[in-house]
Amino acid sequence: MHGPASYGWLLVALCAATGTYCLLRMRSHVEEQRRAAGGEALMGFGMAAMAVPAAVFTPPTWAWPLYAAVFGAAALQALWSARAGAHHLHHLVGASAMVYMAVAMAASPGRHGGHGDFGIPLLTGALLLYFTGYVLLSGVRLVPVAVAAGGGGVGWGDRPELARACRLSMGIAMVAMLLAL
C-alpha cells in the first residue's frame, strides 16, 4: 500500500484483528455464521497483508497474481453462495474489489496512486461509492444492536454486534485501501 507508513500499519492492525476475531467466530454453533466468518477471516488477513506499507515490504511480482487467484476463487464461492441469500453479494463485491486491487497493483508496481493523471477510474469510484454507503449503513445498523446486546451467556462467535463491527471495520479499511490505490 502506498502512502504514509503509519496509515498502513494502522490498517494492518485493524484488518489482522478483524481476521483474528473472525477466526474465533468460526467456533459458532450456527453453520451459516461459521461459513461467513471463514470468508471474512480470509478477507481480513488478505487486506492486512495487502496493507503492509510498500516502504517496509514490496511483495514479489508473483504475489499479485496469487492474490487475484485466491480472491477470484473467493468471489466465485460467494457467487455460488448468493443462490441461498442476497447477503452473500456483499462478499462477492468485497472479493472482487480485492481482485481489482491486486490486478491494479500488478499493473503498476512502484507507482503511487496507480491512476496516473486521469483521476479516479470508473471502477474505483464505483467501489468507493459502494463501500462508503456500506460503511454508513453498517454504522447505523450497528447502534441499535450494540445497545440491545446483553451478552448474557452468548459465545464470542454468536455476538451479532461484534460480527457487524468486524464487517464495519473491514468496510472502512476497504475505503482506505481504495483511496490509496
Strands (E), 111-171: none
Please state, for a pLDDT cut of 70, what percent of the chain lies above it. Answer: 83
Average pLDDT for 148-177 = 76
Alpha helices in 30-121 (DSSP H): 31-50, 63-81, 88-107
Residue with cell 459465545: 155
Contact of 51 with 177, CB cutoff 8 Å: yes
State the chain's mean pLDDT as an integer. Answer: 84
Which among 116, 26, 106 is positioned nearest to 61, based on CA atoms? 106
Between 166 and 4, residue with greater pLDDT: 166
What span, in angstroms and rounded, lies between the C-alpha atoms of 46 and 98? Answer: 8
Contact of 78 with 39, CB cutoff 8 Å: yes
pLDDT (tens digit, 9 = 90+) per residue, 3-26? 567 888 999 999 999 999 999 888
The burial of 56, by beta-carbon neighbours within 10 Å (0-12 exposed, 13-18 middle, 19 or more buried), is given as exposed
Contact of 52 with 13, CB cutoff 8 Å: no
Residue with cell 462467535: 157
pLDDT (tens digit, 9 = 90+) per residue, 87-145? 789 999 999 999 999 999 888 765 544 444 445 789 999 999 999 999 999 988 887 76
